[in-house]
Amino acid sequence: MELTGAQILLECLKREGVDVLFGFPGGAVIDIYDELPNHPLKHVLVRHEQGAIHAADGYARATGKAGVCLVTSGPGATNTVTGIATAYMDSIPVVIFTGQVPTPLIGNDAFQEVDIVGITRPCTKHNYLVKDVRDLAMTIRRAFYLARSGRPGPVLVDLPKDVQQAVTEFVYPNDEQIRMRSYNPTVKPNKRQLKKVVDLVRQAEKPVIYAGGGVISAEASEDLTWLAKRLNIPVTATLMGLGCFPADDPLWLGMLGMHGTYAANRAIQDSDLIMAVGARFDDRVTGKIAEFAPKAKLVHVDIDPTSIQKNVTVDVPIVAECGQALKGLRELVEKEGESLNNDEARIGWAKQTVDWELEHPLRYAPAKAGEPIKPQFVVEKIYELTKGEAIITTEVGQNQMWAAQFYGFTKPRTFITSGGLGTMGYGFPAAIGAQMAFPDKLVIDVAGDGSIQMNIQELATAVCHNLPVKIVILNNGYLGMVRQWQELFYERNYCATCMDAQPDFVRLAESYGAAGYRVEREEDVEVVLKEAFAVDKPAIVDVRVSKEENVYPMVPAGKSLTEMLLV
């Protein structure tokens, strides 16, 4: 069957199981758009290419499938770079197709030409420029294979216009053909190493599991939860790992790190064994590295060998997919019988962590009568109203930390946030992606007034595609997290963090055809949220919150986890 490059692309997408494409057309991809109506793919027309890549990323995080976006050459391609870096830092499988000027013009500074393969080399798992239509199908197959396998990540395929137009015999490569001898991620754990872990667990009196996003991407939550409960080991997680262990379980310590709970950080610092699974010892987690977990032996499970021994010295490294490693551990533990968890010291340890939770729970000073609404109260209300069943996305900053702290995530893939890169403007387009994947679920973007303005234009996308995403703006009139740092560490020099000129978010929402609400009193929060969640279209809820509320606990950057500022 002879097909054009554009037809081959769409045919390959179909066979890869892609059902949604987030994109924005342009001259260099017009041939693909010309073919699009002949295919069953849903296309979501965004209003800015950054929206397309974040939406594809949100779709991927919500479903576990690869997200796909299609943009034109030059500015279309460069507009995706922030989103590509976001997906790269958080290991999210996304395949990005960019248009490119015709091959004879490449390198001539042609109209809308940019070396996007060069630009994105440091922030993609891999990327390709397809110069011959005969290589196209193989390249697309490999792009999806690379994006999904091993440590997942974004893969970019640059498609010159003449390659899209050229015709060739279409042969869809099989699984064997796409394998590369230079790419063989280690998926299975070393059994001897697993046995060492079991031995360490047997000896440990104060073990802690420290879980990260790798547990979620490997669909390994169930095994992790089983092991923690069976072995009676308290669990903490990174921002990316939230939802991998139920927050309503007594063994749950809360998030660790800079804005982690007192109990989690104390437990880490006091523990004698840390089992890190699918986490990478980010500086936001470890605090001052030299003083991180001084008494603990470290086990580190990660599919990416470069993550192991990068920041901390590990006693038992296990290079493997988290799911496989946890399954392997589970089998060993099942064989061991009762000998692993009935030690008195361990029971005392679990009790100790609960005492720490009671001693310093996550808390805030509730608003007194007439005082502005507390942002934490709003997040708690969202949790209460949704019973933890919603998909929560966030922007970046205080809103993100409050969502992480005060919404009890009990299931994986229900918390979607930009962890590694900290991308403001991420949450709303990501919510669009998640809502495309799950039209019947409640999807809520917990936003700040600063972040939401970075991709607010996607309201048109949400309205146009009838995606009832809810945006709850915790509006404090500041770039809150920077303001918090200025307050605590820069003598209240609030330079350039006050957002004094703001749009009327209610009228802004309405002008796009969405619903808009404003809340100024605590007693109205519940009613308005209920109404916004019930309305069958996108909605903005502009909640005016206390202006100088801070996120606590806080470990100042570069300090050790024991040096927490509490409320």
Partner 1 sequence: MEARRHVLSVTVENEPGVLSRVAGLFSGRGFNIESLNVGPTLEKGVSQMTITTTGDDFIIEQIVKQLRKLVMTIKVKDLTEVKSVEREMVLIKVNAEDSRRAEILRIVDIFRCKVVDVSQEELTIEVTGDQGKIKAIINMLQRFGIKDIARTGTVAMKRSMQD
- The residues annotated with a catalytic role in the active site are 49, 111-112, 161, 481
Question: Contacts with partner 1 in 199-218 (CB under 8 A)?
Answer: none
Helix 5-15 vs helix 136-148: crossing angle, to nearest 10: 30
**Tell me, what amino acid is at 14?**
K
Tokens for 37, please give them: 């109506």
Q: Which of these segments, 53-61, 78-86, 117-125, 261-269, binds partner 1 (CB under 8 A)?
A: 117-125
Beta strands in 321-401 (DSSP E): 391-394
Return the H-helix or E-strand segment holding 526: helix 522-534
Q: Which of these segments, 93-101, 118-126, 439-447, 494-502, binds partner 1 (CB under 8 A)?
A: 118-126
Site size with partner 1, rule: CB under 8 A: 18
Q: Which of these segments, 114-122, 257-265, 323-331, 393-401, binds partner 1 (CB under 8 A)?
A: 114-122
Per DSSP, what are the bridge partners of residue 554?
565
Contact 258, 559 (CB under 8 A): no
Listed in sequence order, the residues at least 6 apart from 332 whose beta carbon sits closer than 8 Å to its beta carbon are: 194, 195, 198
Question: Contacts with partner 1 in 174-193 (CB under 8 A)?
Answer: 180-183
Q: Which of these segments, 104-112, 301-309, 348-356, 362-370, binds partner 1 (CB under 8 A)?
A: 301-309
Nearer to partner 1 among residue 157 and residue 471 (C-beta): 157
Q: 3-state class of 545 per DSSP?
A: strand
Nearer to partner 1 among residue 222 and residue 283 (C-beta): 283
Nearer to partner 1 among residue 129 and residue 541 (C-beta): 129
- Residue from 3, 21, 101, 146 touching partner 1 (CB under 8 A): that is 146
Task: Give the shortest CB-14-to-partner 1 separation in angstroms.
Answer: 25
- Residue from 17, 37, 122, 370 touching partner 1 (CB under 8 A): that is 122
Contact 74, 29 (CB under 8 A): no
How many other C-beta atoms are found inside a 10 Å radius of the C-beta of residue 37? Answer: 8
Task: Give the shortest CB-311-to-partner 1 separation in angstroms.
Answer: 10
Residue 114 to residue 92: CA distance in whole angstroms: 24
Task: Give the shortest CB-120-to-partner 1 separation in angstroms.
Answer: 11
Residue 195 to residue 521: CA distance in whole angstroms: 57
Locus of tokens 């806080």: 554
Locus of tokens 């606990």: 553
Listed in sequence order, the residues at least 6 apart from 548 whose beta carbon sits closer than 8 Å to its beta carbon are: 476, 478, 483, 487
Tokens for 58, please give them: 């949100």
Torsions phi, psi of 7, nearest 5?
Answer: -70, -40
How many other C-beta atoms are found inside a 10 Å radius of the C-beta of residue 557? Answer: 12
Nearer to partner 1 among residue 121 and residue 188 (C-beta): 121
Task: Give the shortest CB-135-to-partner 1 separation in angstroms.
Answer: 11
Listed in sequence order, the residues at least 6 apart from 501 whose beta carbon sits closer than 8 Å to its beta carbon are: none
Nearer to partner 1 among residue 305 and residue 348 (C-beta): 305
Q: Is 126 an interacting residue with respect to partner 1 (CB under 8 A)?
A: yes
Instruction: Give the CA angle between residues 342, 345, 349 to the nearest 5°.
Output: 105
Q: Which of these segments, 87-95, 120-128, 221-229, 475-483, binds partner 1 (CB under 8 A)?
A: 120-128
Task: Give the shortest CB-60-to-partner 1 separation in angstroms.
Answer: 19
- Is the backbone of residue 73 left (phi > 0), alpha (psi -120 to 50) or beta? beta
Chain Cα centroid distance, residue 158 = 25
Kindly give the pairing relationship between strand 42-45 and strand 20-23: parallel
Q: Is 157 an interacting residue with respect to partner 1 (CB under 8 A)?
A: no
Question: Contacts with partner 1 in 304-363 (CB under 8 A)?
Answer: 304-306, 309-310
Task: Give the shortest CB-156-to-partner 1 separation in angstroms.
Answer: 12
Nearer to partner 1 among residue 97 and residue 128 (C-beta): 128
Nearer to partner 1 among residue 23 and residue 278 (C-beta): 278
Q: Is 466 an interacting residue with respect to partner 1 (CB under 8 A)?
A: no
Task: Give the shortest CB-182-to-partner 1 separation in angstroms.
Answer: 5
Please report the sign of the dihedral spanned by the C-alpha atoms of residue 8, residue 12, residue 18, residue 22. negative
Residue 404 to residue 143: CA distance in whole angstroms: 33
Task: Give the shortest CB-15-to-partner 1 separation in angstroms.
Answer: 22
Alpha carbon separation from 153 to 57, 231, 543 (Å, rounded): 10, 33, 35
Nearer to partner 1 among residue 146 and residue 273 (C-beta): 146
- Residue from 54, 125, 413, 465 touching partner 1 (CB under 8 A): that is 125
- Residue from 114, 116, 129, 256 touching partner 1 (CB under 8 A): that is 129
> Contact positions toward partner 1, by CB under 8 A?
117-118, 121-122, 125-127, 129, 146, 180-183, 304-306, 309-310
